[in-house]
Amino acid sequence: MENKKRVVVGLSGGVDSSVAAYLLKAQGYEVIGMFMKNWHDESVTISNECPWMEDSTDAMLVAEKLGIPFQAIDLSEEYRERIVDYMFAEYQAGRTPNPDILCNREIKFDIFLKAAQKLKADFVATGHYCQKGEFKKDGKTIYQLLAGADPNKDQSYFLCQLNQEQLAQALFPIGHLQKSEVRQIAKEQDLITAEKKDSQGLCFIGKVRLPDFLQQQLKPKKGKILVVPEDLAVYDKQSIPAGLDIEDFDNDTLDTLCLPIQYQANQGKVIGEHNGAHYFTIGQRKGLQVGGTGKPLFVIATDTRENLIYTGLGEDHPGLNRHGLFVAKKDIHWIREDLFLPVGSSTRYQARIRYRQPLTWATLIMRDNGLYVIFDEAQRGIASGQFVAWYNGAESIGSGVIY
């Protein structure tokens, strides 16, 4: 391969990125390993070991073993601005952000990508379990984001905010493999990360417990936990009207189905106390610390202004399940820009509202104000601030922030 293509691999100190680097080198690329340090504050890690030190050492040892140049880059300023501050603001407003999706859009495929371009890289590569396709359409190359081959590990959801320019420069060397095969390759190549456990916790912050992390910034504030009865009148309107084509719904019907219910304190009765509505998310069951209710209690809504938590009893409480969601115009993102939906039209895709959730069929309706997504089967725990991603088979077509 004359004039080798240069790839910068984000080496995280884990097995996936280690094997990604090995495979690229084996394929004849000129590979540079780069470790991103995104976090300095040691006071919120779970254990007293310093996770990024250990990870950065592992990343360096892997680079050494593979005989590739290695450097570390400190992105903690950008990370704090773009991810951490955003997370706190979202929680404070009573929404539930997804830092992993943002980390990919804002850090790995933006700031990191730009750092790689300064090194004259043709591509950046990560250890994500997803695949990339490309084809020509009207003389133009279109890039596709495709699910990883390992169904238990498919991470396409986390990349649902990437655009065509970012995909053009991205490589996912392990996307066609099963996790077990990745570990096997790491063992055969005697890489130090072969047996290393997968990291839990926030992307790249290391072993962080979210509640502890939030408590640093968001002060505890006692408030009431209310339990809402199942026979609230508003729930009667939550089912899909029979005999009507979804495409013919008027905006009021769509809003009733797709916008979160605004609860009032007089609709529930006090059942306990909490330390701050901003620590809780819709669908949450643990951490309420209310006993003696018989059925389990689930959070169905939070009100951070009034500092109230609304809960429902049992998994089939109508407040926990919704048929639809809404994405405001500014928050709609098409990976496949050529497939964007014009105002006034509708289409069918499969969609998911969280990682590893099975895809389920939905009707997407584009109106002036944004996108309505109506699922064939009611979805549990639709939370504002999270992302919905829609797919055509294995291909991720677009995504948006849930209103």
Mind telling me the catalytic residues? Answer: 103, 203
Sign of CA dihedral 92, 93, 99, 102: negative
Q: Contact at 8 Å (CB) between 256 and 238?
A: yes
Query: CA 255, CA 395: separation in Å to the nearest integer?
Result: 28
Q: Contact at 8 Å (CB) between 335 and 167?
A: yes
Query: CA 324, CA 351: separation in Å to the nearest integer?
Result: 11
Residue found by looking up tokens 């495409």 in the block: 247
How far is residue 162 from each of residues 40, 106, 259, measured CA to CA in Å? 27, 9, 26
| Residue 280 CA, distance from chain mean position | 18
Q: Contact at 8 Å (CB) between 198 and 151?
A: no
Query: CA 19, CA 262: separation in Å to the nearest integer?
Result: 48
**Number of helical (H) and strand (E) elements in the chain, helices listed first:** 11, 18
Please name which of 146, 204, 149 lies closest in space to residue 182, comparing C-alpha atoms: 149
| Residue 155 CA, distance from chain mean position | 9
Query: CA 325, CA 362: separation in Å to the nearest integer?
Result: 11
State whether residue 326 is helix, strand or coil: strand
How far is residue 12 from each of residues 127, 235, 286, measured CA to CA in Å? 9, 46, 31
Q: Contact at 8 Å (CB) between 369 and 300?
A: no
Question: Which DSSP category does 115 fall into?
Answer: H
